[in-house]
Amino acid sequence: MSDEDSGASAAESASDLASSAGDRPGSFAFFSLIGDRFNAPGMPADTAKEVGFFREAILSVARQLWLDANLGRSRVPAGFAEAFDLRLTNVLRGSAEPQLLLNRTQRVSDEDWDEWVRFYEAARDSIAMGVPTVAVAPLDRDRTDLTEEARAARVLRNPAVVASLRKIGSTLEQAETVVLGSPLRAGPRVKLDHDMRLLLNPRLSDLGVTQSEQVSIEGVIVEYDGKTRSFRLEMLNGSATCSLTKDEARLSIQARDYLALDGFTAPDVVIIGETNNSVAKNIHIFSVHSIDIVRSVAEKMLIQQLQRIVELEDNWLGSGSEKPPEEIVERVRELVPALAALDIQISVVPSADGSVVLEARRGLVELSVAVEPNGEMFMCSDNVDTNELDEAQVDFDGSRLERFLRTGAIS
Amino acid sequence: MTASAPQDSILDTPSELLLRQVHPTHFTNGVVSSEAFKPSARDRDMLSTLRGHVGPDEAYRRWTEEKGFKSVGTYGVTVGEVVNENLKAVDDAAEVNEPDHVSIDFSQILSKARKKQAGRILRDAAKARGCLHAPK
């Protein structure tokens, strides 16, 4: 049987089984083990781990899908893995068909949960759609005219995903089959029988050994080695050792220019390069071909000051003092790029009445704007030489605030 | 404490130092904010200080250890500098039940800008004097 024949056969067989098995309302995924061993009630205890392999594979793919959808992020959000709480609640008679429910944890917000479930479901479907494609043809990573199945297959080339996919079906005997995928009859499902596994495993081996992937990660450059043309990027959760593309003097200059000798005072950058393992805590990125600033030092300083305000609690300055409400902090945060571009030193401080106060100095004039919880802002200019004062109490207006700090003009 | 403080509770020795703690969020880019020397309406326009004889170290200790608040250090302004801004330094230790407490009363200033300016001028005076005690 040719590769293509086998792939078509697997897809058809899965389709046949999807039709006969019908919908599984309330289930997160369809999962069925077929073979003599599975005809008795329940399922053999030593094959229960196949469910665990399936869960692990879905989570690996979901991670990759989330990172692909959030360029510049190197880690999925905290709790993303823990929230994927797949429960085996029952085993239907006939073939061993464990019912898999996704348990909602109360520790995740509605917004996060809704977003994450979409990635978990997309990952489940990507496995069902992508595995047959991986099995029958090598992946051409440069192609852009990809079918839905080929796009799904491309996600599966991540080494961590490959490692988890290889485990599925590994405990089964030659005559045994696992079918997995969507709980809906019309959704994608894949049948992993012995022939399919024979085709798939060498492909996965190739992917695991030779394929790298392009990654885009954000951080600050904290070390640079001119001899090896490499640098270390400190990220929010971990670090990356990065090697520059050869013969790109521009990149060496950028890496040096953006170097933070103290680990902070340098712009945040996004770099693009290749890696063989994007999920490691300390990853190696080679062929770095792009280094771009995403956040200037001035922006980082303002954000840091805002963060200190966010961390305040009520009564922070004595009994009755209020921390500025979140929406007031957010109003100022939205202005950070514009304020950073003013090229003047701005201090962002809290007031005991819950305002966020921006202070700057232009020559002999001290400028301040209190962004108040009542939706207004108070602007004040104070000449430290003549004590001349000007002031205005107006509705909050970000453009006017920015103009005031830029020009010193109240009106 | 209110603006109608008894006359004998108003401090009148110009050289007497009043000690003020500066919260870390009021110390950014190496600069003390004038917000550190300006009370809010919630404070009834009274700025808390301690009398100079307490000492900068002890004032810091009382604020951070006894009361559990944060401070980058103790700064000081004199009663004379307070009076120059048409403010009053009022001994209200008994009223607030805190030994050696003095409030600088901003309540006679009605303009928000003028209050901000008075805070700035006190800040400038304290800054010129330098930090009197900072934690090691």
Confidence label for A143 from pLDDT (cuts 50, 70 and 90)? low
Reduced to 3 states (helix: H, G, I; strand: E, B; else coil), residue A157 is coil
Choose the weakest-confidence range: A10-19, A137-146, A230-239: A10-19
**Whether B25 and A309 lie within 8 Å, measured CB to CB:** yes
Is the pLDDT at A409 greater than 70? The verdict is yes
Distance CA A7, CA A16 (A): 14
**B116, closest residue in chain A (CA to CA):** A380
**A355, closest residue in chain B (CA to CA):** B40
Tell me how far CA of residue A119 lies from CA of A58, A66, A281, A347, in angstroms.
9, 7, 22, 40
Distance of CA A130 to the CA centre of its chain: 21
Distance CA B10, CA B92 (A): 9
Confidence label for A13 from pLDDT (cuts 50, 70 and 90)? very low
Higher local confidence (pLDDT), A94 or A124: A124
Is the pLDDT at A352 greater than 90? The verdict is yes
Residue A60, both tokens:
């690996």
Reduced to 3 states (helix: H, G, I; strand: E, B; else coil), residue B23 is coil
Strands A238-244 and A282-295: parallel
A280-303 pLDDT, tens digit per residue, is: 667 888 889 999 999 999 999 999
How would you list the strands of the sheet with A189-192, edge to edge? A30-34, A177-181, A189-192
Is the pLDDT at A239 greater than 70? The verdict is yes
Name which of B40, B9, B19 is nearest B129 in CA terms. Answer: B19
Higher local confidence (pLDDT), A89 or A8: A89
Distance CA B102, CA B100 (A): 7
**B24 to chain A: which residues are within 8 Å by CB?**
308
Strands B17-22 and A97-103: unpaired
A183-225 pLDDT, tens digit per residue, is: 987 888 988 887 777 777 666 666 554 456 788 999 999 999 9
Sequence-distant (≥ 6) Cβ neighbours of residue A172 within 8 angstroms: A33, A35, A47, A50, A178, A194, A197
Q: Which of B33, B43, B112 sits opposite A359 (nearest CB)?
A: B33
Instruction: Report H helices in A70-191.
Output: 110-136, 148-155, 159-167
Distance CA B3, CA A53 (A): 74
Q: Which of B24, B34, B42 sits opposite A320 (nearest CB)?
A: B42
Residue B32, both tokens:
């003390």
Say which amino acid occupies A91.
V
> Average pLDDT of chain A?
84
Q: Which of B41, B48, B120 sits opposite A353 (nearest CB)?
A: B41
So what's the pLDDT on residue A1? 37
Is the pLDDT at B4 greater than 60? The verdict is no
Total count of residues recorded for chain B: 136
**Whether A382 and B113 lie within 8 Å, measured CB to CB:** yes
* Mean pLDDT on A322-341: 96
Is the pLDDT at A265 greater than 70? The verdict is yes
Q: What whole-number percentage of chain A has pLDDT above 90?
A: 42
Residue A282 contacts residue A240 (beta carbons within 8 Å): yes
Higher local confidence (pLDDT), A363 or A40: A363
Contact residues, chain A to chain B, C-beta under 8 Å: 301, 305, 308-309, 312, 316-318, 320-322, 345, 347-353, 357, 359, 366, 368, 378, 380, 382, 384, 387, 389-391, 393
Confidence label for A139 from pLDDT (cuts 50, 70 and 90)? low
Beta bridge partners of A382: A366, A389
Give the number of other CB atoms < 10 A from CB of residue A247.
Answer: 7
Is the pLDDT at B20 greater than 90? The verdict is yes
Higher local confidence (pLDDT), A387 or A25: A387
So what's the pLDDT on residue A6? 43
Give the number of other CB atoms < 10 A from CB of residue A72.
Answer: 16
N- to C-terminal Cα distance for chain B? 34
Instruction: Report H helices in B1-136.
Output: 56-61, 79-84, 93-96, 112-129
Residue A85 contacts residue A77 (beta carbons within 8 Å): no
So what's the pLDDT on residue A19? 41
Residue A226, both tokens:
């001119």
Is the pLDDT at B69 greater than 70? The verdict is yes
**B41, closest residue in chain A (CA to CA):** A353
So what's the pLDDT on residue B5? 62
Choose the weakest-confidence range: A47-51, A332-336, A405-409, B51-55: A47-51
Distance CA B127, CA B121 (A): 10
Name which of A108, A123, A194 is nearest A155 in CA terms. Answer: A123
**Whether B35 and A357 lie within 8 Å, measured CB to CB:** yes
> Average pLDDT of chain B?
93
Name which of B34, B23, B37 is nearest B67 in CA terms. Answer: B23
**Whether B34 and A368 lie within 8 Å, measured CB to CB:** yes
Reduced to 3 states (helix: H, G, I; strand: E, B; else coil), residue A294 is strand
Q: Maximum distance among all alpha carbons in chain B?
A: 41
Residue A29 contacts residue A87 (beta carbons within 8 Å): no
Q: Which of A349, A387, A390 sits opposite B35 (nearest CB)?
A: A349
With vertex at residue A140, the alpha carbon angle to CA A4 and CA A58, rounded to the nearest 5 degrees, is 80
The reply to whether B74 touches chain A by the CB within 8 Å rule is: no
Higher local confidence (pLDDT), A91 or A211: A91
Residue A351 contacts residue A370 (beta carbons within 8 Å): yes
So what's the pLDDT on residue A22? 61
Residue A163, both tokens:
């490692």
So what's the pLDDT on residue A282? 75
* Mean pLDDT on A74-102: 82
Give the global pTM: 0.59
Distance CA A330, CA A172 (A): 54
The reply to whether B7 touches chain A by the CB within 8 Å rule is: no
Nearest CA distance, B25 vs chain A (angstrom): 6
So what's the pLDDT on residue A74? 72
Say which amino acid occupies A3.
D
Confidence label for A12 from pLDDT (cuts 50, 70 and 90)? very low
**B113 to chain A: which residues are within 8 Å by CB?**
380, 382, 389-391
Highest mean pLDDT among A54-68, A81-95, B83-97: B83-97
B24-68 pLDDT, tens digit per residue, is: 999 998 899 999 999 988 888 999 999 999 999 999 999 999 999
